[in-house]
Every structure is written in structure tokens, then in C-alpha cells.
Amino acid sequence: HTAFQQAASQQGPFARLKKFPDLGVYQPQLFISDFWLLEKDYLELNETLQNRTLNLTLSYSAVSLFSWSIQVQMAEQWMQQSEYGLTDTQRDSFMLKRLYLDTNPYFLAFSAAFIILHSVFSMLAFKNDIQFWRQNESMKGLSARSMMVS
């Protein structure tokens, strides 16, 4: 059993846990995760493998509540999107997982920082553009070409 906060246990994937409120604990869930399995790791089982011995490796470990909740929420989101017909969730999820697994973490962090900075500067440029046109009382000194570019 693991301790929990009452308010947090009512939301998202935590609502499925078996709770013991009088003790303030919940029973950890046996979560069979195929989240990080990629398409390239699958082996098709057919008659060509007949009479061959296959190795099966099972591993288990404890996973943090944060990691578990992120995996469950992402899987639920992909399933919901596929029900609505929005995306090819199988292909998209494999692509996203492969991106996380195969890319250098420093490069991912640099890319995220670059995207955030680019977004901030774009918002600042847009804000300044709005301020300029809001404060502009006449078109004196502006060429038609500069107005078309803006």
C-alpha cells in the first residue's frame, strides 16, 4: 500500500485505483505496459517459426505515479483520437515514442528551448506590431511597400 492525497486520487487515471480512505493508502495497480514497445521490435508469429525455440523475457519494476499517469493519459488520448478518426494513432504514437527513444536528450532539450524562445519572440513581435498600428494616427512617412510587408 502507498500513501496518497485524497483530492489528487479523484482525478484522471488515479480514479481507477483501489483506495482505502480510512487508512489513507491505495493498493498499487498491476500495470502491464506496452507503451515503450516499438513496431520495429515486434516479431510476427507465423508458420515460419514453427519448431523454433523463442526466448520470452518478462521484466517488472515499480514505476512512479507521475510516469504511470503520463503513460496512461497518453494512451487514453491516442485511443480517443482514433475513435474520433482524427489521426492514425498507431503510426503517430510509434513515431513519437521513437523520437523520444532514439534522439539525444540534449538535442531534445535544445529543440524544446529553441521552440519556446521562438514562440516568445513571435508573441513579442506581434504585440509590438499591434501597439504600432494602434498608436499610429496617420500613414505619413509609411510607404505602400512597407505597409504590404507588415
Per-residue pLDDT tens over the stretch 11-65 = 566 677 777 778 777 777 777 887 778 777 787 888 888 888 888 888 888 887 7
Q: Which helix (H) or strand (E) holds 121?
A: helix 105-135
Query: Residues near 147 by Cβ (< 8 Å), separated by ≥ 6?
Result: 139
pLDDT in the model for residue 6: 57
pLDDT in the model for residue 8: 56
CA 75 from chain centre, in angstroms, equals 9
Structure-block grid coordinates of residue 104: 539525444
In this predicted model, what pLDDT tens digit does every residue of 83-93 receive, in sequence order? 887 767 677 77
Structure-block grid coordinates of residue 106: 540534449
In this predicted model, what pLDDT tens digit does every residue of 100-143 receive, in sequence order? 888 899 999 999 999 999 999 999 999 998 898 888 887 776 77
pLDDT in the model for residue 127: 94
pLDDT in the model for residue 149: 72
Read off the pTM: 0.51
Q: Which helix (H) or strand (E) holds 27?
A: strand 25-27
Q: Give the whole-angstrom CA distance, residue 146 versus residue 17.
A: 61
